Chain A
Amino acid sequence: MKKKKSIFARFYVALCLVFFYLPILVTIIFSFNSSKSLTRFSGFSLRWYQELLTNTEISKAVYVSVTIAILATVISTALGTITAIGLSRSRKVIRELLMEVNNIPILNPDIVTAIGMMLLFSSIGLVKGYFTMLLAHIAFCTPYVITSVYPKVRNLDPNLANAAMDLGATPFQALWKVIVPMIKDGIFAGALLAFTMSFDDFVISYFVSGNGVKNISIIVYNMTKRINPTINALSALVILVIVVILILAQVWPKLKKSRLNRIPPRMRSFIAGAMVMLVIVALYQWGAVAKGERVLKVYNAGEYMDLSLLEDFQDEYHCTVIYETFESNEMMYTKLSAGESYDILIPSDYMIERLIKEDYLQYLDWDMIQNKGNLLENVLDHSYDPGNRYSCPYFWGTVGILYDKTVVDEEDLKQGWDLLINPKYKGNLYMYDSERDSFMIALKALGYSMNTTDPDEIQAAYEWLVNQRNIMEPIYAGDDVIDNMVSGNKAIAVVYSGDAAYIMSENPNLEYLTPSQGTNIWYDAMVIMRECSEQKLAHEFIDFMLREENAAANTLEVGYTSPVTAAYEEMVEGDYAEISAYIPDDSNPRSEIFRYQDPKVKALYAELWTKIKAEQS
């Protein structure tokens, strides 16, 4: 009986361990993957560790995360501890009130804190960057320290501090030699909490940071589009550091006992010295950005540029580029509307139309862009910006169907979008989890305009999508489609042509179809914000990106279709010769460009799309 129980107990423990540690194990294993896939192991290599070390963006982010976490931990621990001690000696009413007030930031959703802080920093005119991020981290870490230190202080004999002072200790000595050692468990717990809160914070950091200062979370979040095992390598290193710290925490007390009197003073001064160095270097970093002669702030989608181009540009034009990335056009718009300003933005067509309408942009001076002749004829003068008065194309493409040649019958391809409701492929397809793209498919399949505002047509599209959901049981996926299709997990997926090109380069079984009913032709373009203070530099940047060799490097790195003739042709004839997706089919008169959407229509889309997904069984 007893034995049986213990087997069950062991099994249960094992299950827990597997549940906790399997994800970590998988992460570590794939950090050694020789290919880019996160799901298929193709061989051992240290390639991603090498990439990690050479990727300056990531190493900068690691630096920011670590220094912010350490500084925020030290400062908030000191603040919180002193506050807790002070609180324990205040009057009961004040004490209870303050403890309640202290709980509010802890219970407050991060997003509320984040936006509040962003607005605060904007309104008092603090330049967003390292310093604001540090301030925010100190602010949200301190309540945790207070919460964990306060109970320890409350349990102390109130005479201990008196006893120390009675024996000749100044108040500070009493604090340092008696009170702190006695509540050190609470302080340590608080510090640990503060460190982890700070280290993995994304939401607050994202909103309060700026000027290119990014921590690991922001980098990873912006990377999700093209997540690659560099992140696994980074995670593996973080895990390693944690393991080392845990082992040290076990071993340290024993070490300490054996050489009690010698190490601490030296260690203490060493730690103090290191801290001071850290602050100086951190402030220097922060100051250095502001100091460069000319500064250009660029805001682009994540994983959407060959970053070595930025370094080349900085060298050539003796300036500093502050490069920030967003995850979606809407997220970018939120930041702009909160008063954030940049010199150059790279949004999508419909967003450019909106920004023009809302007066965020200024005219381009095409005379300053000598390489304008490099642009393809057909990428210019489209509905979102007729005559390209505001925008210069950056990448372009279509939305289409990526399919597995070995599974999908060639005959079925004639169905175009209706391939997505062909029961033969039930349960074997990914839809793109985006209301506008999904409605585009339905509207096109039905022969309507994808920019329609006719409620009947929208209703028909809704029914098409409901019908598709019921027949096909599709998976509504995000950017994880890329990795899944590379691994060949399903036969059909709706993807952007640029992503399709990349996926096809990794998985030769796939082919790209631009449906005959027409599709979305999209353009992402560079625009200059009205507030831009470096007119000349901004135009030089655009010109720089249009240079043939730079455009070629960029398209090769990102995989999206270049609007620069020479780069385009080089790809079509060279590396991507076999990859049809690289050549967007803009010949079909039934294809369209997204227009700025009326908020009412947008709301209707959102409502219907939620219904479609919610009723998915």
Chain B
Amino acid sequence: MILLFTKKHTQFFIRREMELNKLIELKDLTKNFDDQQVLKGINLDIYENEFLTLLGPSGCGKTTTLRIIAGFEDPSGGQVLFNGIEISKIPPYRREVNTVFQKYALFPHLNVAENIAFGLKLKKMEPIIIKSKVERMLKMVGLEGFEKRDVTLLSGGQQQRVAIARALVNEPKVLLLDEPLGALDARIRKQMQFELKKIQREVGITFIYVTHDQEEALSMSDTVVVMNNGEIQQIGKPTDIYNEPENRFVASFIGESNIIEGIMIKDYLVEFDGFQFPCVDKGFEDNEKIEVVLRPEDLDIVEPEEAKIQGIVRNITFKGVHYEILIETQFRTYKIQTTDYAEVGRKVGLKFGPEDIHVMYPMGAY
């Protein structure tokens, strides 16, 4: 229990530096479908002007969380506060949020301009105002002159832009994006990531972004929330999530890792693979069982005598920027990413510094 408190405290500490107002608070949110519990008590604060990503494998509850915020699902328990006011009973059409759907959900019977104007027309705005707002949106998403186009004939990327414009034109406080880039091919996805981030900066509102793509999450977000099995695993800045994964799930889901069971001898000293290594981690109990994460790109190949851990090169693959090398040691096979070449069969040493060692709690410890 003390441990749990510490963790929460840390998160709070990390995010307090934004110095911004809380916009949405999820308190002990649960959701059951039939007998299955898909959300097991989600606690999450979302701030103004924040780009927050819910990241996790399919079925982890990230989309359900988003749909509860949008109002498409009722929570089974817990609260959703918007500016401090409980909104779980408010229907979606009265919430100040808008959504960009997974497959865009554009209205095929309406053209581009009509799709974007849909929400404004419902608000009975003057046609002239609608027209100018639609034009402004089209300009922002780079689709000027597309007003009369048939949405079903647009490319995936163009449809995506229309979906974003359709949502943003209503000037919501929060934009919800449910795997919006999932249906796009890799090149356009990269470009859209960049543009989404740009748009978010321009309009200056909160984006809540759902994805299973860790690279997308890390490159766009202010805050990443890693979820698994209906629970939040870690909340933090992308760099913290990557560099300081709190458990094996986060470590393995975010990037590639070598994960090794070990023992925390005392603060700043960890033991694994039969050796003791100095490290930068503290706050664990002495001799506590832990797991150590070594990112492949943090490992270097040296002459055998220069390192404690030694092994034999079993495989080497050229990946463009670097080589990926598999090294078989006494206890396990390590994965290494390096620009150095090492021929298969050669005996090598594995070198890493204290700051490359990330100590975390083993899976299921809490």
Contact = CB atoms under 8 A, between A and B. Distances in A.
B119 A168 contact: yes
Interface in B98-120: 98-99, 101-103, 105-109, 118-119
Contacts of A167: 93, 98, 118-119, 122, 166-167, 170
B318 interface: no
A160 B105 contact: yes
Given A159-B101, A159-B102, A173-B122, A165 B93 contact: yes
Nearest to B67: A162
Contact of A163 (B91, B97, B107): B107
Interface residues of A, number: 18
A153 to B, nearest CB: 14
A181 interface: yes
A316 B114 CA distance: 66
Contact of A157 (B93, B103, B109, B122): B103
Given A162-B72, A163-B105, A181-B109, A168 B93 contact: yes
B99 A163 contact: yes
Given A167-B119, A173-B122, A162 B99 contact: yes
Contact of B107 (A165, A170, A173, A178): A178
B93 A159 contact: no
B245 to A, nearest CB: 33
A164 to B, nearest CB: 7
Contacts of A164: 107, 118
B304 interface: no
A166 B175 CA distance: 11
A182 interface: yes
Contacts of A182: 107-109
Contacts, number: 63
Interface string A180-207: 0110000000000000000000000000
B156 interface: no
Contact of A166 (B92, B108, B109): B92
A553 interface: no
A162 B105 CA distance: 9
Nearest to B99: A166
A257 B338 CA distance: 64
Contacts of B71: 165-166
Contacts of A419: none
Interface in B271-290: none
B125 to A, nearest CB: 11
B70 interface: yes
B123 interface: yes
- Tell me what chain A mostly uses at the interface: helix, strand, loop, or mixed: helix
B89 to A, nearest CB: 15
Contact of B92 (A160, A162, A173, A181): A162
A164 B170 CA distance: 12
A169 interface: yes
A36 B97 CA distance: 74
Nearest to A178: B107
Given A162-B101, A163-B99, A169 B107 contact: no
A173 B118 CA distance: 11
B101 A163 contact: yes
Interface in A68-101: none
A171 B122 CA distance: 12
B105 A169 contact: no
Interface in B59-111: 70-72, 91-93, 97-99, 101-103, 105-109
B98 A166 contact: yes
A166 B93 contact: yes
Contacts of A166: 70-72, 92-93, 97-99, 167
B103 A159 contact: yes
Nearest to B103: A157
Nearest to B172: A166
A577 B57 CA distance: 100
B324 to A, nearest CB: 40
Contacts of B123: 168
Contacts of A169: 93, 118, 122
Nearest to B98: A166
Interface in A519-560: none
A166 B172 CA distance: 11
Contacts of A165: 71-72, 91-93
Contacts of B70: 162, 166
Nearest to B169: A167
A29 to B, nearest CB: 45
Contacts of B118: 164, 167, 169, 177
A163 B71 CA distance: 11
Interface in A349-399: none
Contacts of B102: 159
Interface in B320-350: none
Nearest to B101: A159
Contacts of A173: 122
A178 B122 CA distance: 12
Most buried by B among A159, A163, A173, A182: A163
B108 A159 contact: no
A164 B72 CA distance: 11
A182 B109 CA distance: 7
A160 B107 contact: yes
B210 to A, nearest CB: 13
Given A159-B103, A162-B72, A162-B92, A168 B122 contact: yes
A170 to B, nearest CB: 6
Nearest to B118: A167
Given A167-B98, A168-B122, A173-B122, A157 B92 contact: no
A162 B122 CA distance: 15
Interface string B294-320: 000000000000000000000000000
B215 to A, nearest CB: 25
A488 B72 CA distance: 77
16 contacts: A157-B103, A157-B105, A159-B101, A160-B105, A160-B107, A162-B70, A162-B92, A162-B99, A163-B99, A165-B72, A165-B93, A166-B72, A167-B122, A167-B167, A168-B123, A170-B93
Interface of A: 157, 159-160, 162-171, 173, 177-178, 181-182
Given A165-B91, A166-B93, A168-B93, 12 more contacts: A157-B103, A159-B103, A160-B107, A163-B101, A163-B107, A164-B107, A166-B99, A167-B118, A167-B167, A168-B170, A169-B122, A171-B91
The 9 A-B pairs at the shortest CB distance, nearest first, are namely: A167-B119, A163-B105, A159-B105, A181-B109, A165-B92, A168-B122, A166-B99, A159-B101, A165-B93
